[in-house]
Structure 1
Amino acid sequence: MDKAALVAAENTDDGGGSSFSGLRAYGRALAQTPRRLARRACAATAPREEMSRVRARSGPRMARALRWWDLVGLGLGGMVGAGVFVTTGRAARLYAGPGVVVSYAIAGLCALLSAFCYTEFAVDMPVAGGAFSYLRVTFGEFAAFLTGANLIMEYVFSNAAVARSLTAYLGTAVGVDAPSKWRIPVPGLPEGFNQVDLVAVGVILLLSVCICYSTKESSVVNLVLTGVHVAFILFIIVMGFAHGDARNLSRPADLAHNPGGFFPHGAAGVFNGAAAVYLSYIGYDAVSTMAEEVERPDRDIPAGVSGSVVLVTALYCLMAASMSMLLPYDAIDPEAPFSGAFKGREGMAWVSNVIGAGASLGILTSLMVAMLGQARYLCVIGRSGVVPAWLARVDPRTATPVNASAFLGLLTAALALFTELDVLLNLVSIGTLFVFYMVANAVVYRRYVGDPCPISGSAQQQGRRAWPTLAFIGFFSLIALSFTLLWQFAPGGATKFGLLSGTAAAAVAAVAAFQALVPQAREPELWGVPGMPWVPAASVFLNVFLLGSLDRPSYARFGVFSAAAVLVYVLYSVHASYDAEEGGVADGGGGGGGDKLQDQGCEV
């Protein structure tokens, strides 16, 4: 019996039709949950199928109108938000001192390694789904769904929080210190939910209309706003160097109680500082979601993603250096480092207003890029069938995912209207780093295992290749976790140094052994991560290390959210996906067998 006949028989056993056509149909679907999980949870889609049959579920194509400079602008706009004005001060004061310049350079290198992994996928498979699509073609549907749920959670929560912070920065720009003056108190609501922020809601709705109208015009608006924002940052950098003192790079204000030097807390302080500032680089991943709208993916995506990370690293290092010259590291205000430094100088208080204006522009650009990215993620998740299919529709007039953009815009605006989300920002960090970790592993898996293929012999050969690669991924992740736990909890001294050195040596040995013993199954045709498997392995190691720097309550909230996502998958998504994917096979799916295998990337 061939596959179509087998699935048709199984659909007959399930009662036929949609799993959601009525209560009885849904009850029959729930009774088949274990079998459907076995079929769908690890089911991977071939890249060619993702770019053809699955993409066609959106209807009209998105317009290919973006070039490499659009992507650089989107990367800059997405990464350089308002947070850098605070993060730099905290990292310098609490961890690295003037060595925060090196912390930013290290964090930038880490971001570049992760960006390489995204770029290989985006060039080879230029679809709008980003990490969701990359994991769907490697680790299967459930891993992609869990990642997609984390991505949407990350975007909605962080966008709502960032939009509310716009009120405070706009107030600073015009001399209003208390953001509550622009918010409406609502008596009777609990603390943290009783300040209505109409400014945040208005900005979110305005940007939602903009991104629904046109991607190209949104990119032009972003380029203009980002250009002005970068000009503000360069102005602040120049002011810092002009009014700074090079002696502050090595001399603390309180030399009797605080260590001096460019690295007052040594290498540990520099690396802890890198962990603290790494999240300032989040945003380049949104560029990969624009791959379906890029004119020349093989040329424009590598230049756009890598170029934006390099430029942002240079800006961050210059900002850190200018701030370190303005004040001794132990005199920096960790909450408002640049504003505090200029307010304390004769006749320079006006610079804090300039900083508020620049930060406001940064919020607008980071919001726009994030909202572009979140809509494209949800659009492609809708194509897969694990969420309602109407979210996947592309409007024929605007060539944009209007349904997904409008839905997420309204959801984000509703959260931003009432809710203070500061407590959830570390949860967002965990979700982001988890996604980066998964994508780095996925690029290794695809290189050494290959793409999924339904032909029996090819599938068996791929299965034999999968186990050594999965064993390496699991073992290497355990080594990275061991190093992280030792760094966090082992008592200092020679013993800790020896344990860390031994663990690092084990990580290097594991990568070298894997490279020597396991041959690659495929080579990228257009652009590939250099230094395979060393670069993605380094990205995995660093993402695990950074995950270890976050607090325990955030992990508890992450666990609760992930459990809720699993529940949604079991009760809804696996059945919707089964109807969309397996039902299509049963119906014949269109085309002959050879054509279908070619669409799935198999040689016939």
Structure 2
Amino acid sequence: MDSSSSSSSFSSLRAYLSALSHTPTRLALRALSVSTSYDEMSQVRARSGTSMRKTLRWFDLVSLGIGGMVGAGVFVTTGHATLYAGPAVLLSYAIAGFCALLSAFCYTEFAVDMPVAGGAFSYLRVTFGEFAAFLTGANLVADYVLSNAAVARGLTAYLGTTIGISSAKWRLTVPSLPKGFNEIDFVAVAVVLLITLVICYSTRESSVVNMILTALHILFIAFVIMMGFWRGNWKNFTEPANPHNPSGFFPHGAAGVFKGAALVYLSYIGYDAVSTMAEEVRDPVKDIPVGVSGSVVVVTVLYCLMAASMTKLLPYDVINAEAPFSAAFSGRSDGWGWVSRVIGVGASFGILTSLLVAMLGQARYMCVIGRSNVVPSWFARVHPKTSTPVNASAFLGIFTAAIALFTDLDVLLNLVCIGTLFVFYMVANAVIYRRYVATGTTNPWPTLSFLCSFSITAIMFTLIWKFVPTGGAKAGMLSVSGVIAIAILQLFHCMVPQVRKPEFWGVPFMPWIPSISIFLNVFLLGSLDGPSYVRFGFFSAVAVLFYVFYSVHASFDAEGDDSLTANKNGEIHVESKEIEDQSFEV
């Protein structure tokens, strides 16, 4: 470990004040400093001491992906998304799944080339530099902590339905706290802490536990789909229970469908967790593409079938927001009330698997961020006996439990969605940049100009969609924006050659697929409400302050000790010949 390397700026108050006086210079040197694939897989990884064991295969990854996504998705967010999309919530899942699959392709290319535990943080560190990686990594860790807290509180609701006791009786209400933060949930805390102990013990054993729970969960999913289609009524796809509410398959229009898609995007954060397991995969070239992309496809199909069965079972305006599936059968007098408890048990299995996978992922992100010295290197420690990132796992587990103790589900979901979309947007940009820019030898401005202009066009399209009144003018403006986006993309494709060709696995139809991912992520970001952006802006500002007052100085100290490889001129190293030969044909 290199705790000593980051001590010079923090050894005393005087040393720290002196470091602060050099902040502008250090920011200029470190913010855009770029690592390399070779460094990430050798020197940076070595800072954890003990290596993580390579024990996972493709079926482990598919199981982890399914377990991580299904529990959090259908059983927590379907009810909330239905408030906006109505019966068309199944289209919300399809749109979000398509967007996630495009992002999964981008993750897969990076993970095959650079099988480290850092996921998006590492991918951005080797493309856009340290600051972009830190801001993304901070949002990722926050996404995981908040989504895990949301899912843990959802588990309480389903357990209450299973045993016939309202979740309100499980929670202690404190009137003096603001609404949304005044229901204390001790059950959610206990579940989070128990899973923290499991993931600290062993990755392989955690995967086995996940496989068992996921297999049971799939059986319950099949049961839910069957019951919904058997007992439901097709008229629920167009008729609400209250005739005064909007009717039809699209009761709130296309805007409601996309708002629902943005909310259910939380469901797909699980595949991102799979990419963080790359360092522990036996054969990354074969296993990662199947594990990441395969799990997204399977889960998208399951989501759409479950959303359709839920819609057929109940009119959209009477679906329970917190526990939609089990509540659909509770209190029925036709002898089917027992189904509610069966679904509650199945949902509990699913939520446990999603928590397990996501908490595995968040610890590995934090571990790799610790390796880079932008947070204390204490987080990077891998325990010599368990070969797991114990410090990161324990710290984030306790932090997640603290959030789950008092924060309401609605408050958590909106903030998580905006952070997730931002991270996926950044990774899609990074994969294009890495394909078209060879650091140190290629002019990056044509690629950067394309990425900026394409993003601006996507923002224009989104603003027109959201704020311009419906009519011929709106349709014309949207058409013009779409044509401009396609023209920019085609111009870039024809005029700027690729400098990297993946040898093993790469995103197909470059740059079209990642560009579509960029466009869809921007569009879904535009579907979220204003308070979500306020919270996101506040958290990002806190992250920037942390970087300015701590990270840049710790990183500078480590770089001065040759712990980091970016040179002090801000120049970018060309990756070593060995790594280029293994991963790319340049």
TM over 0.5: yes
Q: Distance in 1 between matches of 2:576 and 2:271?
A: 33
Check whether the contact 1:48–1:599 (CA below 8 A) recurs between aligned residues. Answer: no
Partner of 1:161: 150
1:318 aligns with 2:305: yes
Partner of 2:430: 442
Deviates more, 1:43-52 or 1:553-562: 553-562
Once the two structures are superposed, the pairs formed by residues 235-274 of structure 1 within 5 Å of their partners are 235-250=223-238, 258-260=246-248, 270-274=257-261
SS of 2:71's partner is coil
1:308 aligns with 2:295: yes
Partner of 1:433: 421
Larger radius of gyration: 1
Q: Distance in 1 between matches of 2:408 and 2:252?
A: 34
Aligned partner of 1:296 among 280, 283, 288: 283
Partner of 1:372: 360
SS of 2:500's partner is coil
SS of 2:192's partner is helix
Partner of 2:71: 81
Partner of 2:584: none
Partner of 1:4: none
Check whether the contact 2:75–2:351 (CA below 8 A) recurs between aligned residues. Answer: no
1:42 aligns with 2:41: no
Once the two structures are superposed, the pairs formed by residues 332-347 of structure 1 within 5 Å of their partners are 332-334=319-321, 336-343=323-330, 344=332, 346-347=334-335
Q: 1:104-160: CA deviations, max 9, x gaps?
A: 222211110011000100010000000000000000000001111111111222222
Partner of 1:517: 495
Check whether the contact 2:34–2:128 (CA below 8 A) recurs between aligned residues. Answer: yes
Check whether the contact 1:46–1:600 (CA below 8 A) recurs between aligned residues. Answer: no
1:27 aligns with 2:17: yes
Aligned partner of 2:107 among 118, 129, 132: 118
Q: Distance in 1 between matches of 2:143 and 2:301?
A: 26
Amino acid at match of 1:296: D
1:65 aligns with 2:55: yes
Total equivalences in the alignment: 570
Check whether the contact 1:447–1:521 (CA below 8 A) recurs between aligned residues. Answer: yes
Change over 3 Å in CA distance of 1:227–1:525 after alignment to 2: same
Aligned partner of 2:89 among 77, 81, 100: 100
Change over 3 Å in CA distance of 1:340–1:411 after alignment to 2: closer
Q: Distance in 2 between matches of 1:265 and 1:364?
A: 33
Partner of 2:41: 51
Partner of 2:474: 496
Identity percentage over the alignment? 66
SS of 1:114's partner is helix
Check whether the contact 1:96–1:272 (CA below 8 A) recurs between aligned residues. Answer: no
Change over 3 Å in CA distance of 1:94–1:165 after alignment to 2: closer
Once the two structures are superposed, the pairs formed by residues 412-431 of structure 1 within 5 Å of their partners are 412-420=400-408, 422-431=410-419
| 1:251 to partner: Cα distance | 5.3
Deviates more, 1:250-259 or 1:136-145: 250-259
Q: Distance in 2 between matches of 1:287 and 1:403?
A: 20
SS of 2:47's partner is helix
Check whether the contact 1:379–1:393 (CA below 8 A) recurs between aligned residues. Answer: yes
Check whether the contact 2:235–2:312 (CA below 8 A) recurs between aligned residues. Answer: yes
Q: Distance in 2 between matches of 1:417 and 1:146?
A: 26
Change over 3 Å in CA distance of 1:338–1:194 after alignment to 2: closer
Q: Distance in 1 between matches of 2:565 and 2:268?
A: 46
| 1:341 to partner: Cα distance | 3.6
| 1:416 to partner: Cα distance | 2.6
TM-score (normalizing by structure 2): 0.91
Aligned partner of 1:535 among 495, 513, 518: 513
Q: Distance in 2 between matches of 1:587 and 1:545?
A: 37
Once the two structures are superposed, the pairs formed by residues 566-577 of structure 1 within 5 Å of their partners are 566-577=544-555
Q: Distance in 1 between matches of 2:410 and 2:16?
A: 39
Deviates more, 1:247-256 or 1:538-547: 247-256
Deviates more, 1:34-43 or 1:249-258: 249-258
Once the two structures are superposed, the pairs formed by residues 160-179 of structure 1 within 5 Å of their partners are 160-177=149-166, 179=167
Deviates more, 1:372-381 or 1:316-325: 316-325
| 1:56 to partner: Cα distance | 0.7
Gaps of 5+ in 1: 1-15, 453-458, 590-594
Check whether the contact 2:79–2:323 (CA below 8 A) recurs between aligned residues. Answer: yes
SS of 1:168's partner is helix
Partner of 2:140: 151
Check whether the contact 1:52–1:599 (CA below 8 A) recurs between aligned residues. Answer: no
SS of 2:60's partner is helix
Amino acid at match of 1:435: V
Q: Distance in 1 between matches of 2:122 and 2:405?
A: 32
Q: Distance in 2 between matches of 1:376 and 1:585?
A: 20
Q: Distance in 2 between matches of 1:214 and 1:49?
A: 26
| 1:504 to partner: Cα distance | 1.0
Amino acid at match of 1:524: P
| 1:58 to partner: Cα distance | 0.7
Partner of 1:526: 504
Q: Distance in 1 between matches of 2:257 and 2:465?
A: 13
SS of 1:282's partner is helix
Change over 3 Å in CA distance of 1:123–1:322 after alignment to 2: same
1:135 aligns with 2:135: no
| 1:211 to partner: Cα distance | 0.7
Partner of 1:408: 396
Q: 1:368-416: CA deviations, max 9, x gaps?
A: 1111001100100011011111211111111111111111112222333
Alignment RMSD (CA, Å): 2.7
Check whether the contact 1:424–1:554 (CA below 8 A) recurs between aligned residues. Answer: no
Q: Distance in 1 between matches of 2:525 and 2:294?
A: 26
Q: Distance in 2 between matches of 1:309 and 1:116?
A: 10
Check whether the contact 2:74–2:307 (CA below 8 A) recurs between aligned residues. Answer: no
Deviates more, 1:141-150 or 1:408-417: 408-417
Gaps of 5+ in 2: 1-5, 568-572, 582-586
Change over 3 Å in CA distance of 1:89–1:52 after alignment to 2: same
Q: Distance in 2 between matches of 1:501 and 1:276?
A: 26
